[in-house]
Structure 1
Amino acid sequence: MDISQFSERINQTLSTLQYGQTPDELYAPIRYMMELGGKRVRPLLTLLGAYLFHDDVEKAVMPAIGVEVFHNFTLMHDDIMDNAPLRRGQETVHEKWNTSTAILSGDVMLVRAYEFFLGIEPQKLPVALKLFSTCAAQVCEGQQLDMNFEARQDVQIDEYLNMIRLKTAVLLGFSLELGALLNNAAPEDARHLKEFGINMGIAFQLRDDLLDVYGDQAKFGKRVGGDIVSDKKTYLLLNALERANATQQKELRKWQGLGQNGQEKQKVEAVKAIYDELDIQGTTHSQINHYFQKALHHLNEVNALNSKKELLRQLAIQLIERDS
C-alpha cells in the first residue's frame, strides 16, 4: 500500500456523499466547500493510523470522512471570522453567498460530521464520540484565543504555540488516535500516535505562517501577506517583536492597524524587510524542525511495522516541506 491508495479511497467516498438537497441555498455551499479540494490530510491520517494496526481500514473510512467534514466546517466559520476573501484560490463561502448562509451551512456540516461516526462499533462509539467532542471544543478554544490575541499587544510566543496546538494540531492528533482506536491499538501506541500528530500539526501551522509571508500566491491559494495586513499575531511577528532593536520595534508598531486603505503592499514590504533583517525565516525553519523531530520521536515509539510507519513519516515530510 502507498499513500495515494488511501487518498483515492477518501476522494472516492467524498465524491458519493449527499449532505442534503432542499433548500438548495443551505446545501449548495456545503457541496461547494467540500469540492474545493485540499490535501485531505486529516482523513488520510485516520486511515493511516488504522492501517498501522490492521491491513483492513474499511471501518475507519466513514469516521475519517466525518473528521474531514468537521475540518471544513471550522474553515468555513474561520473564514467568516477572519473576513477572508479566498480559500484554496477560490471565493470563500461567505463571499460567494453571504455570512448568514455560511454560518448556517457550517452548522449543518457539524451535524453531518457526527452522523458519519455512527457506524463505529457500539462498544467503541462512546469513546470515539467523547474524544471527538473534546477535540472539537479544543479547536473552538484555539479559535477564541486567536481572536483574543487580536486585541492584545503582549502576546507571548508560548501562548501562540499553545493556541495553534489547540486550533490546528489537536485535530491531527485526534485523527490518528481515532484510526488507532478503530483497529484496536494499545492505549500507549494510540497516545504516541496522538502526540506525533500534535507535534506534526504545530510544525504544519508554523509552515503555514511562513508561507503566508514567503509563499507563492499562485501555489499558496490564499493572499500572501494576509497575516501581515490583518495584524495576525503569528510566530513570525511575535519572534520579530521579541528580537527587534528599538528602531525595528518602532517600525513594526507603526504599521499596526494600518494597511487597510490601499497601503497593503507597502505594509507587507516594510514588515517583511524587518523579518529579513532578523532572519525570521531561518528562525521559523528551526522551530519547524524542532517540532518535526519531536513528532518523529513519538512515531518511533509506536509498536507497529516500520514499513507502515514509513508512510506516516513520508506524509510528515511532505507537509513540512510543502509550498502550498
Structure 2
Amino acid sequence: MDTKNNNSADLLINDLLPTHPRRLYDPVEYIMAQKGKKIRFNLALKGCELFSGSSDDAMQAAMAVEIFHNFTLIHDDIMDNAKTRRNQPTIHEKWDINTGILSGDVMMILAYEALLKAPEHAHAKIFPLFTRSARAVCEGQQMDMDFESLPVVQIDKYLEMITKKTGVLIAAALGMGAACGGATDAEVEHLYEYGKNLGISFQIRDDILDCYGETQKIGKIKAGDIIQGKKTILYIRTWFSMPEEEQDGFTELYHSSAPDKIDTILNYFEKAGAKEYALAKEQEYFEKAHAALAKIDVSPQRKKKLTDYTQSIFRREH
C-alpha cells in the first residue's frame, strides 16, 4: 500500500469538501476516510510518473477517479441492500437511503470539480476519457443486474460486463494519469488498454479465489459467489460444458440453499475443467495487458515502478 499517496488523497478530499449542509457532505467524508488501498488513485499517479517522472500533475485527476469509484460503491450498496462495507456500516444504514442517493450524486459533481483543477494541457484528453469510462461503469452495473434474472449468459457478455464494471475505471485511472504526465494520444490509449486488461484479469482471478482461495487469506466466506448464486466465469463455463438435459437442474441447484450445495457445485466445476479454463483466461488478459505496455517507449526503470505496484495488487494470491 502506498501510504504517502493515500495520505495525500485524504488531504485533497478535505480541500474539496464544502462544510454545509453537513448531512450532505458528512457521508462523503465518511466513505472517503475509510481505510482502503485507493488502487485507482495510486494508478493515476503511477500513470503520470511513467511519463513525467513525477506524480504531482496527476493529483486532481487521481482524486476524481477515487471520488467517482466511491460514489459507485454508495449506490451499489443501496442496490444490494448491503449492511457493511470495509467492516463499517454502509451510508444508507448509518444515515438513510435518500441521504445515500444524494451524497452519491454530489460525489459525481465533486469528481468533475477535481478534474477541472487538473493541468489544462490534459483537459482535452482526460474529460472525454473520464466521461466515457464513467458511463461504461453504469452500463456494466446494469448488465450485472440484468444477468440476475437469466439462467446463464454467454461468456462474451460476461467479459463485456466485467470490462465495464471493473476494467474501464482501472484503465481510466492509468490513462488520465498518463495524459497529465504529457503522454501522447497513442501512449494514453496503450496505457488504457494495459489497465483495462489488467482489470479483466483481476476480476477473473477474484472469481477463482472466491472458490479456491484460502478462507483466512481472502478474508471472506469461501465460495460466497456460489452461496449468492452469482454467474461467475466458473459457473458459465460449467453450464455450457454439460449436457443440455442437465443444465436446468444445475441452475436450480446453484440458486438453491441446499446443505451440500457448495461441495456439489465444486464437483461440477471440477468435471467441467472450469478452474483451468478460468486460469487460462486470466493469463490471456494478463498477457494482453503487458503486450499493450510493451508498446510504450519509456525507461525500463519507470516501467518497473508501475509493474511492481500492479503485480502486488492484481496478481494477489488472496
Letter matched to residue 146 of structure 1: D
CA contact (8 A) 1:169 1:198 kept: yes
Residues 249-278 of structure 1 deviation map (CA, whole Å, 9 limit, x = unaligned)? 35422225433xxx5x64334323322343
Matched pairs, number: 315
Query: 2:62 maps to which residue?
Result: 64
Do residues 198 (structure 1) and 196 (structure 2) align? Answer: yes
Q: 1:96 Cα deviation (Å)? A: 3.5
Equivalents in 2 of 1:164, 1:216: separation in Å? Answer: 23
Matches within 5 A, 1:1-324: 7-16=2-11, 17-18=13-14, 19-245=17-243, 249-259=247-257, 266-324=260-318
Residue 21 to residue 66, structure 1, CA distance change in 2 (3 Å): same
CA contact (8 A) 2:50 2:306 kept: no
Residue 293 to residue 80, structure 1, CA distance change in 2 (3 Å): same
CA contact (8 A) 2:152 2:231 kept: no
CA contact (8 A) 2:125 2:176 kept: no
Letter matched to residue 308 of structure 2: Q
Between stretches 68-77 and 81-90, larger displacement belongs to 81-90
Q: 1:292 Cα deviation (Å)? A: 0.5
Residue 270 to residue 172, structure 1, CA distance change in 2 (3 Å): same
Between stretches 207-216 and 183-192, larger displacement belongs to 207-216
Letter matched to residue 6 of structure 2: N
CA contact (8 A) 1:54 1:183 kept: yes
Residue 277 to residue 223, structure 1, CA distance change in 2 (3 Å): same
Letter matched to residue 53 of structure 2: D
Equivalents in 1 of 2:81, 2:56: separation in Å? Answer: 38
CA contact (8 A) 1:49 1:178 kept: yes
Residue 280 to residue 53, structure 1, CA distance change in 2 (3 Å): same
Identity of aligned residues (%): 37
Equivalents in 1 of 2:188, 2:291: separation in Å? Answer: 14
Equivalents in 2 of 1:92, 1:115: separation in Å? Answer: 25
Equivalents in 2 of 1:213, 1:99: separation in Å? Answer: 32
Between stretches 122-131 and 154-163, larger displacement belongs to 122-131
Equivalents in 1 of 2:220, 2:83: separation in Å? Answer: 8
Residue 100 to residue 256, structure 1, CA distance change in 2 (3 Å): farther
Q: 1:182 Cα deviation (Å)? A: 1.0
Across the aligned residues of Structure 1 and Structure 2, the Cα RMSD in angstroms comes to 2.3
Letter matched to residue 236 of structure 1: L
| TM-score (ref. length: structure 1) | 0.88
Q: 1:301 Cα deviation (Å)? A: 1.1
Equivalents in 1 of 2:162, 2:182: separation in Å? Answer: 29
Instruction: Give the SS at the match of 1:120.
Output: coil
Instruction: Give the SS at the match of 2:120.
Output: coil
Equivalents in 2 of 1:146, 1:310: separation in Å? Answer: 35
Equivalents in 2 of 1:203, 1:32: separation in Å? Answer: 31
Instruction: Give the SS at the match of 1:53.
Output: helix
Letter matched to residue 252 of structure 1: F
**Runs of 5+ unmatched residues, structure 1:** none
Letter matched to residue 285 of structure 1: L
**Runs of 5+ unmatched residues, structure 2:** none
Residue 85 to residue 247, structure 1, CA distance change in 2 (3 Å): farther
CA contact (8 A) 1:88 1:220 kept: no
Q: 1:245 Cα deviation (Å)? A: 4.3
Letter matched to residue 322 of structure 1: R
Residues 187-224 of structure 1 deviation map (CA, whole Å, 9 limit, x = unaligned)? 22211111111110100111122233334455435554
Instruction: Give the SS at the match of 2:52.
Output: coil
Between stretches 133-142 and 310-319, larger displacement belongs to 310-319
Residue 52 to residue 62, structure 1, CA distance change in 2 (3 Å): same
| TM-score (ref. length: structure 2) | 0.89
Q: 1:65 Cα deviation (Å)? A: 1.4
Equivalents in 1 of 2:69, 2:135: separation in Å? Answer: 13
Instruction: Give the SS at the match of 1:116.
Output: helix
Q: 1:234 Cα deviation (Å)? A: 1.5
